[in-house]
């Protein structure tokens, strides 16, 4: 699984970072980007889906690989 933040959509709500800091980080403007190239370890797959579901801008893609 991978996650990807759509930088065009992200408005900096930071829910992704609050729910899954292992997968997301915030830049200087508070917008998210994926950590580690967006690769999701098996242990964090539920967190990836939770973050996706909680982004009000629908800015997070979860890609099953
Ligand atoms: Fe951006 Fe959504 Fe996270 S708006 S900071 S990707 S919760």
Atom in ligand 1 nearest the alpha carbon of residue 31: 5
Cα of 59 from ligand 1 centre, angstroms: 6
Q: Tens of pLDDT along 33-53?
A: 999 999 999 999 999 999 999
Handedness of CA 49, 43, 5, 62 (dihedral sign): negative
Of residues 2, 9, 12, the one with CA closest to residue 39: 2
- Cα-to-centroid distance, 15 and ligand 1 (Å): 6
What pLDDT does 58 receive? 98
- Ligand 1 atom with least separation from CA of 6: 6
Q: Indicate yes or no: pTM above 0.85.
A: yes
């Amino acid at each position: 699984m991978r996650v990807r933040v759509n930088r065009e959509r992200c408005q900096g709500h930071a829910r992704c970072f609050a729910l899954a800091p292992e997968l997301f980080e915030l830049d200087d403007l508070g917008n998210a980007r994926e950590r580690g190239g967006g690769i999701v370890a098996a242990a964090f797959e539920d967190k990836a889906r939770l973050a996706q579901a909680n982004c009000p801008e629908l800015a997070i893609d979860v890609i099953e690989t």
